[in-house]
Amino acid sequence: MDIRLDGKTAVVTGAASGIGLAIAQALAEAGAAVVGADLNAEAGAAAMARLAAAGAKASFQATDVQQSEDVRRLMAVAKERYGSVDIMVNDAGLQFVAPIVEYPEDKWHQIVNVMLTGSFLCTKYAMQLMIERKWGRIINMSSIHGKVASAFKCAYVSAKFGIIGLTRVTALEAAPHNITANAICPTYVRTPMVEKQIANLAKTHGISEADVLQKIMLVDAPMKRILEPSEVAALALFLCSDAAGGITGADISIDCGWTAH
């Protein structure tokens, strides 16, 4: 399927690397103008500059998605540069691992604020602009951990479960305006964050990184592999297409069979 998004503008958070960057690239290659947003201004600006150098309409806006003022500015910049906000991809995220009884409260607030509150703020202000045009696509990055829990990830799991709830409410409210809202729920993806987890677990348990994947991280997955960012980006691109116009309020697993148990 040749998906074209010419004339559409996409805002992608967490666009400096990993899944966010892969989605930004896929949308740009399909013809969308892309505003990449990230707290890491240096990496984000460099990533969007590479897309622009390859011929894409792409630019960067440093954004802390926890801050309403930053998010409002992001939407205003996207509209000023490219005329609209048609696609909102909420991918900004981070991780911290610790038992609940030892979990730092500041880390709890940071993770929930970035992933759940940030998704709410970006949805709120992007949707206002989408309603004007009677068309929109909102894609929230949840996780397999938005459907099943893992120990020692209380803030991450709570935020990802919450994102699915936010997605469903958004879908109900957005439907009369021809706007869809969906959540993607991937298993582990080969991103800098996951690669760091693999290395840390290997060191902690005194085993190889291959054994970390097979014996710890993927023990419940029938397909014993992690995803590539491009696989998640392909699903996001499809959800932005006209062919996916009837898909809304869904939490779509791309989890190598994890939730088939």
Is the sign of the CA dihedral 98, 104, 108, 111 positive or negative? Answer: negative
Please give the positions annotated as active site. 156
Say if residue 88 is in the same domain as residue 192: no
User: Is residue 259 a part of any domain in this protein?
Assistant: no
Beta bridge partners of 182: 139
Is the sign of the CA dihedral 8, 21, 172, 131 positive or negative? Answer: negative
Say if residue 110 is in the same domain as residue 205: no
- CB neighbour class for 54 (10 Å; exposed up to 12, middle 13-18, buried from 19): exposed
Beta bridge partners of 135: none
User: Is residue 84 a part of any domain in this protein?
Assistant: yes
What is the H or E stretch that residue 37 is in?
Answer: strand 33-38
Distance CA 74, CA 69 (A): 9
pLDDT in tens, 50-90: 999 999 999 999 999 999 999 999 999 999 999 999 999 99
pLDDT in tens, 189-224: 999 888 888 887 778 788 898 888 888 888 888 999
Distance CA 126, CA 138 (A): 9
pLDDT, average across residues 125-132: 98
- What is the structure's pLDDT at 124? 98
Question: What is the total count of domains within the chain?
Answer: 2
Both tokens of 28, joined, read 């740009």
Residue 67 neighbours by CB under 8 Å, 6+ apart: none
User: Is residue 3 a part of any domain in this protein?
Assistant: no
Say if residue 62 is in the same domain as residue 103: yes
- What is the structure's pLDDT at 4? 97
User: Is residue 22 a part of any domain in this protein?
Assistant: yes
User: Is residue 257 a part of any domain in this protein?
Assistant: no
Say if residue 161 is in the same domain as residue 59: yes
Distance CA 236, CA 233 (A): 5
- What is the structure's pLDDT at 261? 85
pLDDT, average across residues 224-253: 97
- What is the structure's pLDDT at 117? 98
Say if residue 182 is in the same domain as residue 80: yes
User: Is residue 258 a part of any domain in this protein?
Assistant: no
Say if residue 93 is in the same domain as residue 214: no
Q: State whether residue 118 is helix, strand or coil.
A: helix
Say if residue 210 is in the same domain as residue 236: no
Nearest to 250 by CA among 127, 154, 138, 149: 138
Say if residue 81 is in the same domain as residue 115: yes
Distance CA 261, CA 259 (A): 5
What is the H or E stretch that residue 68 is in?
Answer: helix 68-82
> pLDDT class for 105, splitting at 50, 70, 90?
very high
Q: State whether residue 65 is helix, strand or coil.
A: coil
pLDDT, average across residues 164-170: 98
User: Is residue 200 a part of any domain in this protein?
Assistant: yes
What is the residue range of 93's domain? 9-186+228-251
- What is the structure's pLDDT at 197? 82
When the pLDDT of each residue in the chain is averaged and rounded to a whole number, the result is 95
Q: State whether residue 81 is helix, strand or coil.
A: helix
Distance CA 68, CA 72 (A): 6
- What is the structure's pLDDT at 24? 98
Percent of the chain with pLDDT over 70: 100
- Residue 254's alpha-carbon distances to 3, 59, 237, in angstroms, are 20, 29, 14
Say if residue 154 is in the same domain as residue 209: no
- What is the structure's pLDDT at 216? 84
Say if residue 115 is in the same domain as residue 59: yes
- CB neighbour class for 6 (10 Å; exposed up to 12, middle 13-18, buried from 19): exposed
User: Is residue 159 a part of any domain in this protein?
Assistant: yes
Both tokens of 145, joined, read 């951990």
Say if residue 143 is in the same domain as residue 201: no
- Domain CATH code at residue 90: 3.40.50.720
pLDDT, average across residues 120-142: 98
Say if residue 27 is in the same domain as residue 110: yes
